[in-house]
Amino acid sequence: MSIGFRWTTASVAQANALLLFAGAIAVIVEAIRRFGSPHEIDAAGVFVVGIIGLLVNVGSAAVVGRHAHSNMNARGAYWHLLADAFGSLAVIVAAIGTAVFDVDWIDPVASIVISVLVIFAAWRLMRDATSVLLEAVPAGLDVEAVTDALFAEPGVEAVHHLHVWTTGSEHAALSAHVVLGETLTLHDAQLRAVELKQMLHDRFGIDHATLEVECHACDDDHVHAVPSEPAHRMRHEH
């Protein structure tokens, strides 16, 4: 995936999150206003409309949700549909409350509760999109553990220039220089790199790894360090 496309995907996801924020805040403001001036509703008609809206939005969300785990924009659309489904649920609750208990405050209360849930979802979407734009280390991935795992592999003498970041598909990507302590043919070195990539995929879920296999460390290893995180380092076996 190109850098431009990755940034565009993340930017669109941020826009989706902002729309979710704005919609939820608008609903909360309107719900608070309705506490002071409640409206009479036709409970039966509102209930039927709410049921139809709930079924349509839940069905659509179920279809989109199959891809929401691996795509931020699909997740944004998913939460838009869920927000609409929650709105229909609030309508149903309001209709039942009016018909059974003859109270008019259930509707705004349900709207506020559901809007708060949508705000939390929008915050997570915004956080994930920002992580992609900043090329941050994926949440839950320990860079130090990744480095140690590479260094612990047989024949690996050093690991340096290691970078881990989040891609537009929200998968982890890695690049690193790996120094092998034994003399290998080009073919054998490539096979060893494939084995290391498979280990990174199996243990850490890193789908895209670029490994530069070397027979000795670079001369400028000591200048590559990031104070904010242990993402770049070199270790030697003594």
Kindly report the pTM of this predicted structure. Answer: 0.56
Give the DSSP letter of residue 136.
P
Cα–Cα distance, 124 to 32 (Å, whole number): 25
Domain boundary among 133, 163, 184: 133
CATH number of 26's domain:
1.20.1510.10
Name, of 31-45, 62-76, 104-118, 188-202, the range with top average pLDDT: 188-202
Which domain, by its residues, includes 175?
143-223
Same domain for 168 and 113? no
Sorted by sequence, the CB contacts under 8 Å of residue 61 that are 6+ apart come out as 78, 81, 82, 85
For 129-165, the pLDDT digits (tens) are 777 776 666 777 788 889 899 988 988 888 888 888 8
CA 93 to chain centre: 31
- In total, how many domains does the chain have? 2
Domain boundary among 102, 133, 164: 133
Same domain for 106 and 191? no
For 52-110, the pLDDT digits (tens) are 888 888 888 888 777 666 666 676 777 778 878 887 887 888 788 777 777 777 778 87
Cα–Cα distance, 172 to 206 (Å, whole number): 5
Same domain for 9 and 123? yes
- 8 Å CB contact between 49 and 91: yes
